[in-house]
Amino acid sequence: MKNKLINAVVCDAREVTEQSLEGYDKVTVNAAVLITGKRARELFAKHHVTLNVASVADVPDGVEVKVVSGRHEIAAGTAGDGAFLIVNGKLIVEDGAMDDVKSYSRILVNGSAFMPMSCKGRLENVSVNGRTAYYPDGAAILDADTQIDGLFIARAAADSYYCPGRLFFLDTAMDADAVLKRGMRFSARTLIVAESLEKKLITAFDEGSKLIRVPDGASLIRGDLELKPKTIRKHGTKLCVCGDVRIGDGEALKALEYLYAGGTVSLDKALEDDFDELESEYEKLKLVDPAIGSISDRPAVKVGKATLSRFPNGVRIEDCAKVTLGEELSPDEIMDKLQIVDCAIVRCTVEQEEAVHMIAEDVARITTRNEDEDEDLTGGLFGKAGAEVINAVEYKL
């Protein structure tokens, strides 16, 4: 007898049989979506089946299941013919496609959905695990972080536009009168507008959009940015940055007049007073001590004496999935030299546990399990003796 472990985005269990389960001591299903039916539920109750799933969908036998990863659009004239649609990503319902959406037996979205305002409250067959946004009926949909400038207006084919992210109106030379004459409308989660354009175009903006005023002459920079003197020479002293901004150069900071950051501003602690003098708008501010080592955005990281010896002033570990502390680290070293922030799992010894609790911030789990137990905690992705492991995007049980 052995165990069976299934790791899948979607697991369809409607055709499960007695024979497929009875050969195992235990069957574990880790899935974002489990598709089941009456027979499957009865067999699961009879056998040792453990379900770790985000969503359970009860779908009758014979109903077609369609799984889409990424962006999926439903346009007018693309009926679903009673299928069950699962979208792992972004669903966009185009204007006039409400009846096509209703033609699906069910639609499950793990991510985000964008629909015309007329669909709000009228699609009982649609479930969204995430964010749902509604755009004005008849609007054309733009990509996030789109700049509306003179060239865009000259080429625009539609009179109404919706953006699920940010729209930038920074081109002060654009023909605002042409926008108003055509009766153009813009709706977005956030509108970033040059000061001199705000009064001219205010009637063209949807009142439900967040509006941020920026100085005339601001330059748009896509992606992340590390602020340097050459940045100022190339883009000027007024910046609109779509992503994160790293500021460690005092000369560049003093030359800057305005900063909009769509993400996090990571600022050297010594520059905090100078930054306070800057007119700015940002999502989050993170103070960084350059004398402290930094480890971030790792799926797994191990920290021992060798790491701490490279950074005498300590190490900050942030946004990592799993952090393992070397057994040789003393509780005093952990208290004095480690910062662990926004991490999912921290693995340590029993002797280290109290110190870890003292220095950890926003950590989901602190465990003292041994390696074998810890491997099982992560779902046994590498397998164990006597276990059958299946990793798949879609799997039929």
- DSSP for 147-204, please give it: E--HHHHHH---SEEEEEEEEEE--TTS-HHHHHHHT-EEEEEEEEEEHHHHHHHGGG
Q: Are residues 51 and 99 in the same domain?
A: no
pLDDT at residue number 255: 95
- pTM of the predicted model, to two decimals? 0.68
State the total domains in the chain: 5
Token couple for 96:
């006039």
In a domain, 374, yes or no: no
Last residue of a domain, one of 135, 161, 190: 135
Residues 179 and 193 in one domain: yes
Whether residue 377 lies inside any domain: the answer is no
Residue 111 lies inside a defined structural domain of this protein: yes
**Amino acid in the structure at residue 37:** G
CB-based contact 244:267 (threshold 8 Å): no
Same-domain pairing of 70 and 117: yes
Q: Output the tens digit of pLDDT for each of the chain's 397 residues.
A: 578 888 888 888 888 888 878 777 888 888 878 888 778 888 888 777 888 887 787 887 778 888 888 889 998 888 888 888 989 889 999 888 999 999 998 898 988 998 999 999 889 899 898 889 888 888 888 988 999 999 999 999 999 999 988 999 999 999 999 999 999 999 999 999 999 999 999 999 998 899 999 999 999 999 999 999 999 999 999 999 999 999 999 999 999 999 999 999 999 989 999 999 999 999 999 888 877 888 888 888 999 998 888 888 899 998 888 999 999 999 999 999 999 998 888 999 999 999 999 999 988 889 985 544 444 444 444 444 556 777 666 667 7
Torsion angle of alpha carbons 246, 252, 256, 259, nearest 10°? -10
Whether the Cβ atoms of residue 148 and residue 169 lie closer than 8 Å to each other: yes
Residue 32, in any domain of the structure: yes
DSSP label of 85: E
Residue 394 belongs to a domain: no
pLDDT at 370: 52
Burial class (CB in 10 A: 0-12, 13-18, 19+), 141: middle
With residues binned 3-state (H G I as helix, E B as strand, rest as coil), the percentages for the chain, rounded to 5, are 25, 45, 30
Say if residues 16 and 36 touch (Cβ distance below 8 Å): no
Q: 91 forms bridges with which residues in the sheet? A: 72, 113
Whether 109 maps to a domain, the answer reads yes
40/13 same-domain check:
yes
End position of a domain, from candidates 160, 185, 210: 210
- Asked if 241 and 262 touch (Cβ cutoff 8 Å), the reply is yes
pLDDT score of 170: 96
Of 135, 163, 185, the position where a domain reaches its end is 135
Residue 375 lies in a domain: no
For residue 46, what pLDDT is reported? 78
Instruction: Kindly state whether residue 41 falls inside one of the protein's structural domains.
Output: yes
**What residue numbers bound the domain in which 269 lies?**
219-288
